[in-house]
Structure 1
């Protein structure tokens, strides 16, 4: 039986791009589970007679020979990552390792039904596959580089084999803004905090309550970090801190699922003296109104609720341990730390409180620190070590990756700007992005590469609100084809 899932994508323009994107939507590909998609891409390469190979990490390269007469043109590497962020609304049952992404079109945008769409970086990957398939395109030597595990650890780029790639120009297709081209990005690192905290049995005079903070928009922890969005972990900790004066003791906590997504929901259970229950309800109701007023129209859907629950099997933290933990979390850096002095309007350093959990006294926090300066990333990570070291927690900094230093004199950039002007009637805005593009890592491994990054217009990346503007995909595809043809006539480097 023919699979009709996402069949409507076949009717969209450009057809080559959307047909490949349909394959990506129908093939589960959360980070760490890209094997099925890799197998399909290898079969695609075999069907067209393209050479392909993989490095030790598993990154895939497919090579397409130059058009006749353009063999001496500079080699172009088209690069994107295969994995996608796995986020679903609480009321959307979805197994990202088994279920396809179900899409629909509304008001000129493509959305997913209650989950992330995977346009990040699925549309970049689809465009690369379309270039490989397009036999009307004039081009020099092409390499398609598909990396793995970008969304969770940058593992594919970090593990990329050296002395493997042959091209001198790299087009990263993982940007998300129309009319813009990126020539630099932030580096970053994961900061993980773990501790075992002491508990004390629930008292006969204590009630158990559950707090839920839901309804936030969420977003990308880099490109959306400066926007007026709520961070569910930051806000629920604020609510818990407000109850701390009522001698509340934290029992468990879960908030956020990915360190690179601004958390939309967070939940906690705590114990407090039963005679303080009415006061707690009053505090939470007032705080909900305060938080709604603070967030305003930037993130208007916040809901903060308190309910009484049956006694729990888990032991609450001791009063001192609970107070100490909430004090440390309240003092933890979150959001924009500093704006760039050299690139106006760009965030220099930030931190996202991405994943926070407490169960049976075991605390785990995973934050993502980003900065245009690697030294500032190190300094922010050290603040975590200093703060949580005071409570005896173990702090580990891992998955560090370098930033991408801008090169405004790039020849590739000048070619892109000229083609953008000729094709679209305006020069692109040249940008530096506060997000972890793989270009920083690739540039460290291949320092002679001339690189730029561009893509279609994507909004709400890393959240179930992710969507892509259809018209921008047409523009993106036209720009990509024209740029490749321009580079086919360039002098070898």
Structure 2
């Protein structure tokens, strides 16, 4: 026997809501496609471990798997198959994933592995779990209406744990997707635990708070406010679910590359936001 570590590295990553429609790949998904290609190349292998991602709500930028093969001469076939998947990703994702690549390295043969059936089922599950946008909003063309992301995968003893994170702009959309997820589990012999969904928070076209805050923003910042609906879960959704008559908006400082290694915040905008909130509260009180 011999073992290899296959690693998907330097994928763009980022926030699984804010940047889900930017045409990115997903390192865990890409790794699963590479593993499937290795099997299609005729290499018989079993998984020893697989890991990737940093958080459920982030698009993973790296993932790796250790496989064990019976054929001691299979190394070149494995490398060729993984190389073909890298070429495919470059063709599909083009300029979006400029740095994404795979590494195939020799590894120590582990004492324990998963069975051939479990290996096949896990790779199949990862292949069929959709990552990215399912549907765009019909009223707000730039806003995804339903999306999902494989955020993390971890080998924990004798099982593998996967965090799959769907997002939707309406509760009914989310319920529809959650209803079919157990089918994926049944078909691949996996167990599934459905967490309590965060309530959706829909845009209010008649909001009185939006124009008020926009005016305050212009007074403080000296320019027009950018008002957008976003594809992300917020605490405000819980307030809305308890009282849909509430007029709610969400404001925040200027951030970049959220949930990636390059995440940053413009500190000056934090001070600006503080002034805007204080001035808005003063006007609401009058």
Is 1:211–2:6 an aligned residue pair?
A: yes
**How far does the alpha carbon of each residue in 1:142-181 deviate from its partner, in whole angstroms, 9 at most, with x for none?**
xxxxxxxxxxxxxxxxxxxxxxxxxxxxxxxxxxxxxxxx
* Aligned equivalents of 2:107, 2:189: Cα separation in 1: 31
The answer to whether the 8 Å contact 2:153/2:161 transfers is: yes
**How far does the alpha carbon of each residue in 1:17-75 deviate from its partner, in whole angstroms, 9 at most, with x for none?**
xxxxxxxxxxxxxxxxxxxxxxxxxxxxxxxxxxxxxxxxxxxxxxxxxxxxxxxxxxx
Aligned to 1:345: 142
The answer to whether the 8 Å contact 2:53/2:153 transfers is: yes
**Out of 266, 273, 283, which is 2:81 matched to?**
283
The within-5 A match list for 1:13-28 is none
The answer to whether the 8 Å contact 1:217/1:465 transfers is: no
Question: Which of structures 1 and 2 has the bigger CA Rg?
Answer: 1
What is the SS of the residue equivalent to 2:38?
helix
**How far does the alpha carbon of each residue in 1:233-259 deviate from its partner, in whole angstroms, 9 at most, with x for none?**
111101111111222222211111311
The within-5 A match list for 1:382-461 is 382-461=179-258
Is 1:368–2:185 an aligned residue pair?
A: no
What is the SS of the residue equivalent to 1:249?
strand
Tell me the matched-pair count.
283
**How far does the alpha carbon of each residue in 1:358-397 deviate from its partner, in whole angstroms, 9 at most, with x for none?**
3554122111111012111112122221112113322121
Aligned to 1:228: 23
Is 1:241–2:39 an aligned residue pair?
A: no
- 1:360/1:421 Cα in 2 relative to 1: closer, same or farther (>3 Å)? closer
Aligned to 1:254: 51
Q: Structure 1 stretch 280-289 or stretch 328-337: which is displaced more?
A: 280-289
What is the SS of the residue equivalent to 1:389?
helix
Which structure ranks higher in relative contact order (CA pairs < 8 Å, sequence separation ≥ 6)?
A: 1
* Aligned equivalents of 1:217, 1:328: Cα separation in 2: 23
The within-5 A match list for 1:19-58 is none
CA RMSD of aligned residues (A): 2.0
TM-score (norm 1): 0.54
The within-5 A match list for 1:5-404 is 206-245=1-40, 246-272=43-69, 273-318=71-116, 320-404=117-201
What is the SS of the residue equivalent to 1:431?
coil
**Out of 264, 274, 281, which is 1:477 matched to?**
274
What is the SS of the residue equivalent to 1:416?
helix
- 1:470/1:293 Cα in 2 relative to 1: closer, same or farther (>3 Å)? farther
Ranges in structure 2 where 5+ consecutive residues have no aligned partner: none
Question: Deviation of residue 477 (structure 1)?
Answer: 3.3
* Aligned equivalents of 1:340, 1:448: Cα separation in 2: 22
The answer to whether the 8 Å contact 1:251/1:359 transfers is: no
What is the SS of the residue equivalent to 1:275?
coil
**How far does the alpha carbon of each residue in 1:438-481 deviate from its partner, in whole angstroms, 9 at most, with x for none?**
11101223445321111111011122211112443343233223
Question: Deviation of residue 270 (structure 1)?
Answer: 0.6
Question: Deviation of residue 407 (structure 1)?
Answer: 1.6
The answer to whether the 8 Å contact 1:258/1:355 transfers is: yes
* Aligned equivalents of 1:345, 1:460: Cα separation in 2: 18
* Aligned equivalents of 2:283, 2:59: Cα separation in 1: 39
- From the two aligned structures, give the one with the greater strand fraction: 1
The answer to whether the 8 Å contact 1:370/1:377 transfers is: yes
Question: Deviation of residue 266 (structure 1)?
Answer: 0.6
The answer to whether the 8 Å contact 1:252/1:360 transfers is: no
Ranges in structure 1 where 5+ consecutive residues have no aligned partner: 1-205
The answer to whether the 8 Å contact 1:315/1:360 transfers is: no
**How far does the alpha carbon of each residue in 1:203-233 deviate from its partner, in whole angstroms, 9 at most, with x for none?**
xxx3211111121232111111111322111
What is the SS of the residue equivalent to 2:73?
helix
TM-score (norm 2): 0.91
**How far does the alpha carbon of each residue in 1:127-148 deviate from its partner, in whole angstroms, 9 at most, with x for none?**
xxxxxxxxxxxxxxxxxxxxxx
- From the two aligned structures, give the one with the greater helix fraction: 2
